[in-house]
Every structure is written in structure tokens, then in C-alpha cells.
Chains A and B, each alone.
Chain A
């Protein structure tokens, strides 16, 4: 298989395919559903193709326009980007199947082009090796996400979208300023070249400060998380799944790339800051999630909490870098799958009951068994209980924390797991009981339930694929050489 498909530049296909799909949906709205489905499947297949290519030839480079690094823009694909692309493809497939049944009429026409362009932008971002190109893809994602979030058009949706747009723009501008400084400081916008040229100087500190702040804002880390819950909660179900699972991960990916390459040597203390903020995010997000009366807000705050887990890895990475970053990547992908499943399930419940007040969920376990099952399985992964991908990530992080004697981080992780269990089971508890006033239920199509369930069982299945996935992530050793455990 590798031979025949070996030479096709899958990376480029990954970008062009959704763009063409989007164009088709824009030009001929009638064909939107078909085009959307075909594009999603094609993207997944091409990610698989790229995966085989990487396995065979290692890191993939593609100089756009044939100009090479400093002048032109490069596309690179290594283990980390492959993993993120795979996440996007999987979650994208789930959301596409869900949206086929969720959107009708006017919404359907608007949704598909925006969604496919967003998918293209995500793929472009994970493949980009140029920091200015990253800015453009970041903007593309931001605009598409805001447009999607504002679709319901209600008061909450609009104000949520507005707040989201302003923060995204502010973040991107700060990031652009950093790009400008780096470019003018070191004469190139390419990550690989910058990684070589950068040495600790005033420009780099300023760039780090600006880009760090911008990306933290876009990743909604604890103190800067204010815009995420309203935006994600009021968006339509597939969109909020999209936002929480993928869009938030994009800016985290950029931050991670920068930390691994450009700011690698001089980020000692900043890691500690990130660790502190991450821990605070876990605690604060979980407590707020526990307090929410509405399901979608609960799931949104759970995103704020889970992002905290990703940032806890920074201080730990100083020690066993490779295994910790592998764990973070693992947490990212399992959180993406689980959170997408959770939001889709929440969407089903909202659609079914007409409201998403947790207390008034009326015997949902019996009337919507698949959705309740999806929510439960996703909850298992979010909590980090054994059979799930979340557990593997948590286990590796705990191991690193214990080895390096970081008992504070270990305690926070354990506490995070407990609080996550608190709010997940609070919801599951009410799923069994009957509500005081029972609403007239709406029909929820099987496709919507099954897509949520498949995503959730994907998160659980990840629990058993750790060795292969971790070796995949390590292609081209993005995190430095994987030294053997002490």
C-alpha cells in the first residue's frame, strides 16, 4: 500500500480537499450534505495515507512553491502533527455524521461551508512550519469558529460569539506582534530556522511574553478562560463539540510547538508558571463545573479544567521530556474525543428534553440509553478511570510527577480526577431519576446518538492502544530523543 500511495503528497491533499469540499458546499448548497460527508471520509483516509508515509519515510517536508525555508513556506508533518491531524479527522468524522442529522434548512446551508473551511484551516495549522502561516490559519479558524458559534442568533449566542471574536482577535494580534519581532530579530519566519538562530535576547523575551499571552488567551487557560463557557455553551451542539475538542487544541498545539523549538532553552521558569496556572485551572474549572445547573455550561467548564491537565505537563517536561509530552499528546487526543462525545450527548439531551437543566433530566437512562451510555463512557475518560485513554495520560503524568518528586502536581491531578468524578456522576445520578415535571420528548435520530457513542468508545478504546499511538507520536522525535525511563 505504501508503494502505490507513497509518493502522493498527502499533507497537501489534506489541506486542499476540505477547501474544495467547502467551495462545493458554498456554490451548490443542495450538494452540501453529500460533499460534507465525502470530504470528511476522504480527509480521514488521507490522514491514514499520511500516517503510512510517515511510518515509511519519517518526517515529511513539503516546500510550497519549491522555494525552500527562508523564502517560501514549508509544510512539515511529524508524529505530533500526525496525532493532531488524526484527532481532527476522527472528531471531524463524528461531528459530520452528527450534523447530517442535526442541521436542517437555512442552518444546514450555513453550517457546511464554514465547517469544511474550519477543517481545512485546522489541517493547515497542524502542517504549517511557518509562524506567519500559523497566524493566518489561526485567524481562519477564529473567524470560522465565531461564525459557527453565532449561528443560533439568540442573545446568548451573539454575546458569546462577540466576546469570543474579540478575545480571538486580541490573541492573534499579540501573536502577530511576536511574529513580527521574531522575524525582524532573526530574519526568518520558519520555525526550524528560528529554532537554530534564536538566542536569549530582549527581542526573544518580548516575543515570548506576547506570543505566550496571546496563545494562553486563545487556549482559555485559567485566568483567561472567561470567554469559553458562554461561547461553547450557547453554540449548537456539534459546534460546541468542535470548539472544545479541536479549536482550543489548535492554539495549544502552536504553544507546544514554540516551546519545543523556538523557546526551548529559555522557558525554565515560565514552565513553572504554566504548571501553577494549569493546577489552578483544574481546581477552578472543576469547582465551577460542579456548580453549574445547566449541562452544557458544566461540560464547558470541564473543558477549562481539562486544559489545565495539558499545562501541568510543562513543569514536568524538564525531567523526562519525551514521555511527559507523549502523555500530554495522549491526554489531548482522548480529551478531544471524550469532550466531543460529551457535547454531542449534551446536545441530544437538550434536543430531547427541550432544556438542559441537570436536575430536570427525566429518566434519560431508560429513554435515551445510547446517549446516556456515551456521556458515561466519555465521563470515564475525562475522570481518567482505567479502561480509558484519559487514564493512560494521567498515569504517565502521575508517574513523571512521582519520579520527579512533584507531589503537589500529583495531588492536584488526583484531586482533579475526584472533582471530575463528582460532576460527571452528578449528571449521571440525575439521569436515572425521574424529573418532577416531565416534558414532551422530541425525537432524537439514531445517527446523532450513535456518533456520540462511537466517539466516546473511541476515547475508551484509546486506553488499549497506548504503545502503538505513543510510538506514532514519536516519529521524528518532536520532543527530543525519547530517553529510556530512569
Chain B
């Protein structure tokens, strides 16, 4: 009995079913809810691992469901989707452990974990989508599932943040829909085909295809936080820490970037897109976002807002890598998708620890916090150095490959963007590190909780450490066979470029 089509569906179900069950759980059935969450996460991880191994051996996992008379919902596990789904599976497990610790005793947890699982389901759906319509479906589902999480605290500020989030994402969704429909009417198919499905298009469609490309990229750019459309990300920081950690640093933002990768490589085909002359403006847009994001982060005093702006800047590396036509730059972009995930989630989890254990939200309140919470701050430092691009941490690898790819594609100016962004990133992270390690701690912390000998609860401490180790491992062991870097090379070879 050919099990292959069932595996992707099981992956989706492994986060959907626990979510739906958790919705119906009463508030106080903590053990059942935690059990469900963790089993769901572990099952998801196991399945993804199995698919990872299968696809590595050249297996094909595909599930089709008729949506419209001549359009189908397709769940396809290819090398590219596995890159993203592995990241989201791993980080979901980590963030679930963290969220359980973080939300101990707070109200509405059933609702929270329900929507949390829905978000992960839609992220898995986004990554496994085999054609543009399925991608659109899960992309919109992601918006719907994240909205209640931003609104979780139910304060007026949260409502306004939620509203601005919606204004951006719904508008983006509408553009994406229009683009998809227009594309469908031109090509008649929306399947993601390696090296693009538009190669046969005639000359007369060029202006239309350019317009479609602009629409699709604008639609995805909202979630990928490209410059004019990034406004919602800093405001969404009002959400609880696990939400801003997994969703706004990893799942939601990456969905946008991942979408851009799919569009450029598997819908348009990067050579065709270059021929259309659309990759250059995209590269410039990504570059401006990188610089703008860092500049804005420079002047933030709230820690999570600073990290949010840093996410705006860092995610555009992926878009930059994609927009530079060349296998090495693509590898750089792809691998940064994973690395930035590890590094950024470490930073956000540490920020969450600070907020939860010491009540510290502002950078100005972080003096000498390294003395009080050395392990958390060690993780934070690893994340920070990764952001700057210092070697042992994974950030360096992706910057290295981006640089190489850019030069190989003859785009020398990218090197200076990378250099400038490293400078700016250093100029807003190093003062924080200095304050953390080399300044005297204040007499008492705003809202301190004591956890006996340990600096904070296990559930809050282990996740950031785990992700920090992952970030370090991804950097140091980049050359290992199953490392993100080699998987990115496999993607570039199999999916995007003629070997």
C-alpha cells in the first residue's frame, strides 16, 4: 500500500488535530494540553525526519485533492519545502516547550495553544504547497491563525496592533489573489515546476507577466516585511513572547520569504525572471530593506521592537539571495532562511525570558543582566554575533555565500550592502552586549521572580540554549552532510539550476 501520499497529510494533521482538540479543552486541564502539544510536535518532527530521509533518497511524497473543476490542492514534499518545514517543525517543538513555561498560570491558554497549532499547520501547509493555489490557501490561513494570537492579551493596544497587522496582510492577500488569478488565466496551470513554468510564454505576455510578478511580490512582500510593507512587524511585538518568537521571527516572516523563493524559482524560473528584468529591482528593494531595517533598529529602546526591525532587515537577505541570479547566491539565501530562524528565535526567547523573569522590556534596563542570568545572556550573545555575521555562528556562512554569489553574478555592490548592514547590525547589538556584560546591574529588577538556584525556570532556559547551540552548530558544522548548507546546495542543484 503506497504510503507516500499520506505522509504530507499526516504532517498537516499532526498539528491540526491537537489544535482542534485543545480548543475544546477546559482551561485547567494543563497536563492533557501539554501532552497533546508535545506529542503533536514530536510526531511532526518524526514525520518530517522520515520525509527528509525519503526525499534525500529521491522518494516522491505527493497528495492531491480536487479543489476546483480543473484546479487541485497539492501537498508536495520536495527538497525546498523540506528545508522550511524542518525548520518550522524543530522550532515548533522548542517554542511549545517555551510557551508552556512562559504562560504558566496565565488565562486563555487553551485558546492560545489552539491557535498556535493552527499557525504551525498553516506554516507546514505553506511549505508543503505544491501549487500556487494551495500556497495561497495556507498563506491566508496563516493570517487568520496569527491574528488572534496578536490579540491574545485583549488590550486596546493589542487590538490596534492586530488591526494594523490585518490591514497589511489582508491587502497583501488581495494582491496575491489577483496575481494568481491573472497568472492562471495566462498559463492555465499553477503547478510549481523546477526551473519555472513560464519558459514557453510568448513575447506579447511580457508586460502582463511583469505586472503579475509585481503583484505577487507585493502580496508576499507584506509578510516578508519588504520596506514599504513592513509596518505591521514592529507593532505585532505586543503579542506574548512565544508568538513573537516563533511566528513573527520565523513562521510568518519566513512564509513570505519562502513564497518569494517559490515565485522566482518555481513559477517564473530565475533566468526567465532575469530576462523579464524584474530581479534587479527586487534586489534593490531587498537591499534598501536591509539598510532601512538596521537604521530603524539603531534608534529603538524597546528590545522587542529593535529585534523586530532587525528581523525586517535580516529576512531581506533571503530576498536578496533570491534576486541575485546565480546558484551560490541562491544557496546563501536558502541557508539564511534556516540560520536566521535559529538566531532570531534565540534572541526573541531570551527577550521573553528577560520580560518574564525580570520584567525587563527596555534596553536601558538591561545593564548588568549578564550577571543575573548568565546562560540566557550567553545565548543572546551567540544570537547577536550571528546577526552581525561573526564566524562561529551560522550568520557568517550565509553572508559568506551571499557575498560569493553576488560577486560571481557580477553584482559587486551587494558586498557593500552586506558590509554596511554588518556595521549597522554591530552598531545596535554591541552596545546591548556591552550593557549586558560590562555594566553594573541595578539594585533591584522591575519585576523579579526567583527560581531558587537556577536563573529562571527550566522550560524558559532550555529552549534558547537549544536554539543557540543549533545556531552555533549550523555555523561550525556547516560542511556536514545533513547540515542546512548542504541541503541548500542540494536544492540549488535539484530544483533551481541545471546541474
Instruction: Point out residues on A near B: beta carbons under 8 Å.
Output: 363, 365-366, 369, 376, 380, 383, 385-387, 392, 394-396, 398-399, 402-403, 410, 414, 417-418, 421, 425-426, 428-430, 432-434, 463-464, 466-467, 470-471, 485
Contact B144 A385 (CB under 8 A): yes
Known: A365-B111, A399-B185. A485 touches B170 (CB 8 A): no
Give 18 new A-B contacts, CB below 8 A, not counting A366-B107, A396-B68: A363-B154, A366-B154, A385-B144, A386-B138, A402-B185, A403-B185, A410-B178, A410-B181, A414-B178, A417-B174, A418-B171, A421-B166, A429-B151, A432-B154, A432-B158, A433-B158, A466-B66, A466-B67
* Chain A residues with CB under 8 A of B147: 425, 428
B392 within 8 A of A: no
Contact B178 A385 (CB under 8 A): no
B117 smallest CB distance to A (angstroms)? 15
A243 to B173, CA, bound (A): 32
B174 smallest CB distance to A (angstroms)? 5
* Chain A residues with CB under 8 A of B181: 395, 398-399, 402, 410
Contact B140 A385 (CB under 8 A): yes
* Chain B residues with CB under 8 A of A470: 69
Contact A402 B174 (CB under 8 A): no
* Chain B residues with CB under 8 A of A395: 68, 177, 181
* Chain B residues with CB under 8 A of A429: 151, 159, 162-163
Contact B184 A399 (CB under 8 A): yes
A214 to B144, CA, bound (A): 40
Contact B140 A432 (CB under 8 A): no
* Number of residue pairs A-B, CB distance < 8 angstroms: 96
The 3 closest A-B pairs by CB, nearest first: A386-B137, A432-B151, A421-B170
Contact string against A for B residues 43-82, beta-carbon threshold 8 Å, 1 for contact and 0 otherwise: 0000000000000000000000111111001000000000
Q: Which of A433, A434, A470 is most buried by chain B, counting CB atoms within 10 A of its CB? A: A433
Name B114-137 residues within 8 Å CB distance of A: 136-137
Q: Which of A369, A376, A386, A399 is most buried by chain B, counting CB atoms within 10 A of its CB? A: A386
B108 within 8 A of A: yes
Contact A467 B111 (CB under 8 A): no
The SS class assigned to the B binding surface is helix
Question: Of A380, A417, A464, which one neighbours B67 at CB under 8 angstroms?
Answer: A464
Instruction: Point out residues on B near A: beta carbons under 8 Å.
Output: 23, 65-70, 73, 107-108, 111, 136-141, 143-144, 147-148, 151, 154-156, 158-159, 162-163, 166, 170-171, 173-174, 177-178, 181-182, 184-185, 188
B303 smallest CB distance to A (angstroms)? 25
Contact B137 A466 (CB under 8 A): no
Question: Of B66, B151, B188, which one neighbours A467 at CB under 8 angstroms?
Answer: B66
* Chain B residues with CB under 8 A of A402: 181-182, 185
Known: A466-B68, A467-B68. A387 touches B141 (CB 8 A): yes
Contact A418 B136 (CB under 8 A): no
Known: A386-B141, A466-B69, A470-B69. A398 touches B159 (CB 8 A): no
* Chain B residues with CB under 8 A of A363: 154
A385 to B174, CA, bound (A): 9
Contact B174 A386 (CB under 8 A): no
A426 to B163, CA, bound (A): 8
A92 to B136, CA, bound (A): 33
A399 to B171, CA, bound (A): 19
B128 smallest CB distance to A (angstroms)? 15
* Chain A residues with CB under 8 A of B159: 429-430, 432-433
Q: Which of B138, B147, B178 is most buried by chain A, counting CB atoms within 10 A of its CB? A: B178
Interface pairs (24), CB distance under 8 Å: A363-B154, A369-B111, A376-B144, A383-B170, A385-B143, A386-B136, A386-B137, A386-B141, A387-B140, A392-B67, A392-B68, A399-B181, A402-B182, A410-B178, A417-B177, A429-B151, A429-B159, A432-B151, A432-B158, A433-B156, A434-B154, A464-B73, A467-B66, A467-B69
